[in-house]
């Protein structure tokens, strides 16, 4: 029961981690009965603290918005094809990536909510990678005070600023910054997120979104004879 509405959420396919199993494992999806929003959490770790992802999800559910939560298999770092694109992104460590299964899971929903942190380049490159394959509206929740021009300069489609050379299928339609990792999300920020998400859901009729299978095949994420979401 969330607020005055009962919602059904399909359990994850793997047991939770940590004391009491409260930390979701990487590569798992808890799916809402109605595919309104899919909230994407990066791979859990010291940098990718799950709070306030859970708080935001619960807050949106209390507002009557059905939210699925996808924890990425490889959500740390930045995409390999972006390494070296900026001095702030160079270094060694984990590389961000998506699987064909995760892309198909995102495409089932009407809107994607991306939980990001406080590194400008990571926010941009991860958003670009996620929106590259799916024509879906995206709301960004992050700490860094980023704006639409920052995304457009990187070739990411946005609602208010058109990039010179668009490189994504999806579009950033709203940004809510000032949400700090590991700290309670304020009611003001929750209300701002709910307002933006409600507006998008009221204006977007699509229930699911087409996936660019040709891109998945060219990048080796999908076999030529395989359909997105196939086993």
Contact 170, 157 (CB under 8 A): yes
**What DSSP string runs through 176-192?**
E----TTSPPPHHHHHH
Residues 6+ apart with CB under 8 A from 14: 25, 27, 28
- Residue 4 lies inside a defined structural domain of this protein: no
Token couple for 12? 């994850």
Rg, the chain, Cα only = 17
Peptide bond into 101 cis (omega under 30): no
pLDDT in tens, 106-133: 999 999 999 988 889 889 999 999 999 9
> What is the rounded average pLDDT for all residues in the chain?
80
Contact 69, 38 (CB under 8 A): yes
Structural domain of 212? 37-218
Of 220 and 92, more confident: 220
CATH value at residue 200 = 3.40.50
- Residue 174 lies inside a defined structural domain of this protein: yes
What is the distance between the alpha carbons of residues 136 and 127, in angstroms, rounded to a whole number? 12
pTM above 0.85, yes or no: no
What is the distance between the alpha carbons of residues 64 and 228, in angstroms, rounded to a whole number? 30
Predicted pLDDT of residue 17:
46
- Residue 189 lies inside a defined structural domain of this protein: yes
Residues 178-188, mean pLDDT to the nearest whole number: 87
Number of domains in the chain: 1
Token couple for 51? 């709070």
- Residue 228 lies inside a defined structural domain of this protein: no
pLDDT in tens, 187-221: 999 999 999 999 999 986 566 677 877 777 887 77
Residue 157 pLDDT exceeds 60: yes
- Residue 28 lies inside a defined structural domain of this protein: no
Contact 99, 43 (CB under 8 A): no
Of 6 and 29, more confident: 29
- Residue 30 lies inside a defined structural domain of this protein: no
- Residue 104 lies inside a defined structural domain of this protein: yes
Nearest Cα neighbor of 147 from 166, 115, 128, 123 is 123
Task: Label the pairing between strands 137-141 and 111-115.
Answer: parallel
Token couple for 208? 């699911």
What is the distance between the alpha carbons of residues 51 and 58, in angstroms, rounded to a whole number? 11
- Residue 125 lies inside a defined structural domain of this protein: yes
């Amino acid at each position: 029961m969330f607020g005055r509405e009962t919602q059904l959420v399909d359990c994850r396919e793997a047991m939770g981690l940590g004391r009491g199993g409260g930390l979701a494992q990487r590569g798992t999806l808890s799916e809402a009965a109605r595919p309104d929003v899919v909230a994407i959490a990066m791979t859990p770790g010291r940098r990718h603290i799950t709070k306030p992802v859970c708080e935001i999800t619960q807050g949106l559910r209390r507002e009557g918005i059905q939210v699925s939560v996808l924890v990425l298999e490889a959500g740390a770092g930045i995409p390999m094809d972006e390494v070296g694109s900026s001095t702030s992104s160079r270094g060694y460590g984990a590389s961000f990536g998506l699987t064909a299964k995760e892309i198909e899971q995102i495409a089932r929903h009407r809107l994607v909510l991306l939980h990001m942190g406080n590194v400008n380049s990571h926010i941009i490159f991860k958003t670009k990678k996620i929106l590259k394959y799916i024509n879906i509206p995206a709301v960004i929740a992050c700490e860094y005070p980023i704006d639409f021009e920052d995304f457009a300069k990187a070739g990411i489609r946005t609602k208010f600023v058109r990039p010179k050379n668009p490189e994504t299928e999806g579009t950033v339609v709203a940004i809510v910054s000032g949400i700090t990792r590991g700290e309670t999300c304020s009611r003001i920020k929750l209300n701002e997120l709910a307002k933006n998400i409600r507006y998008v859901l009221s204006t977007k009729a699509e229930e699911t979104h087409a996936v660019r299978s040709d891109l998945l095949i060219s990048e080796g994420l999908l076999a030529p004879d395989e359909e997105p979401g196939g086993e």
